Amino acid sequence: MAGHIRNSSVDRVCHWWVLLVRVEVLQKERPKDKKKGKDGKDQDDEDFLVDNEEEMDVKEELEIKQDSTKEYLGKLQYKLEYDFNAQSLNVTAVQCTELPALDLGGTSDPYVKVYLMPDKKRKFETKVHRKTLNPFFNETFSFKQVPYSETFDKTLVFAVFDYDRFSKHDQIGEVKVPLCMVDLAQTIEEWKDIQSVKVDDQYLGDICFSLRYVPTSGKLTVGILECKNLKKMDITGASDPYVKIKLLDSKGKRIGKKKKTTVKMGNLNPYYNESFVFIVEQEMLRRVSLELVVADYDRIGSSDPIGRVECGYNRKGLELKHWKEMVENPRRPIVHWHVLKDVEPGDDDDDEKKKEKKKEGEKKERKKEVDNNKIQ
C-alpha cells in the first residue's frame, strides 16, 4: 500500500513537471507569420527559415532586375591634379566611350562642360566631336584660386551634352565627383559611369511674386513678395539672398537694365515686398520673357545663384500659366508661388559684365599709349 502511494505521488510530480515544460515551450516566441502545413499543424522553425530564405532569394532577384533595367549612358575618363603652390585644380576630360546615339544617323556630337558646384561661375567646355560615340578629348582646364581648405565643400561636375545646331543641346548625362571623397595630394585618373540627370535632384526653395500689366501705359510691374526654404549657401548654414529681375528677348539676351532687390543677410525665408517696373509694348509680350534669379550675396567674390524662374509664352506649366493670367487680366496683380529651378552654368550675365569691363580696360590702355606717342 505504501509503495502504491509512493508511486502515485511520483507520477503526480512527473505529471506536473511535464505540464510546466509544456507551458514554457508554449510561452516561447514563435515567428509572427506562422504557416500551416498540409495536416493543419504549425511548421517548425527549420521549415520557416527555409521559406524565409526563398523569399529573400526572390527579393534579391527583383533588385538585380531593377539594376539591369537602369539606362546605360556610357563611361567618362577624367584626370585630377591639385597644385598646392598655385592653389589651382587642373582637370582633364580625357575621353568618353559607349555614348548613346541621340541623332537620327545613329551617332551623337558630344562635348563636355566642366564646372564646380555650388558656385558654377567658372565653367569650361571641350570642343565638339562630330558624329562619334567614343570621343577622345584630352583637354585640360585650370580652376585657379581654389584654396585647399575650400575644396571639401565643392563638387566637380562633368556634364556630357550632344550638340545641336538648330535647337537646345541635349544633355546625355553627368559625372559628379565630390572633392571631399578624393585625395588631392596625388594625381587621380579614373573611369566613371555617366549618370542620368535628375530634374528634381535638389530642392532649392520657393519664391512668391506678382505680375501686373497695364496695356495703355505698357507698364509691367513685378512685385517680389517673399522666398521660403532657400538652400543654405554659406558655411554658417545660412544665405544672404537677393533677387535679380530682367527681361529677355526671344534669344535669351537681356533687354535694358536688370533690377535688384535689397539683400537680406542671414535669412533663408526673406520677406521683400519690393516692386519694379519695366516698359513693354503690348505686341512684345509674346516675344519677351521675365527671368528672376535668387542669388546669395558675396562681399568678396561674385554672388552665387541659388535658383531661377522664367515666365513667358515660351515656357511651360506654371511659368506659362502665370504669364498668360497676367495678360488676360490687365491692371490686376496676379500672385503665384514658384519652385526655384537650377541655374544652368553660364546663364547668369556676370561673366559678360567682366568681359565688357576687360574690353573697356584694354581700350583705355590703348588710348593712353596713343596719347603718350602723340606727346613724344
What does the DSSP assignment read for 168-198?
PPEEEEEEEEEGGGS-TTS-EEEEEEPBPPP
Q: Tell me the three cell numbers of residue 231.
A: 538652400
Q: CA torsion angle for 66, 68, 72, 77 (degrees, to 10)?
A: 110
**What local confidence, expressed as pLDDT, does residue 238 receive?**
82
Distance CA 95, CA 97 (A): 7
Place of cell 497676367: 326
Place of cell 538648330: 166
How many whole angstroms from its chain centre is CA 295? Answer: 16
**What local confidence, expressed as pLDDT, does residue 177 receive?**
93
Q: Which residues of 151-175 are buried (b: 16+ CB within 10 A; e: fewer)?
A: beebebbbbbbbbeeeeebeebbbb
Identity at 348, one-letter amino acid code: D
Dihedral sign of CA atoms 194, 199, 201, 204 in order: positive
Mean pLDDT by 10 residues, the chain (376 residues): 46 48 46 46 48 49 48 93 94 95 85 86 90 95 91 90 78 91 92 81 86 95 94 82 94 90 94 95 92 88 87 90 94 94 64 51 61 57
**What local confidence, expressed as pLDDT, does residue 187 receive?**
94
For residue 127, give the nearest of 142, 109, 115, 108 by alpha carbon.
Answer: 109
**What local confidence, expressed as pLDDT, does residue 58 receive?**
46
**What local confidence, expressed as pLDDT, does residue 232 receive?**
86
Angle at 346 between CA 261 and CA 302, to 5 degrees: 50
Distance CA 110, CA 99 (A): 9
Mode of pairing for the β-strands spanning 206-214 and 219-228: antiparallel
Alpha helices, H only, the chain: 2-27, 45-68, 317-328, 350-375
Strand partners, 142: 90
Q: How far is CA 240 from CA 202, 245, 263, in A?
A: 19, 17, 6
Distance CA 345, CA 119 (A): 9
Note whether 321 and 314 are within 8 A (CB): no
For residue 248, give the nearest of 210, 204, 193, 285 by alpha carbon.
Answer: 285
Dihedral sign of CA atoms 302, 222, 346, 134 in order: positive
Place of cell 546669395: 296
Q: How far is CA 278 from CA 94, 290, 307, 353, 366, in A?
A: 47, 10, 22, 21, 37
DSSP symbols for 74-109: -EEEEEEEEETTTTEEEEEEEEEESPPP-STTS---
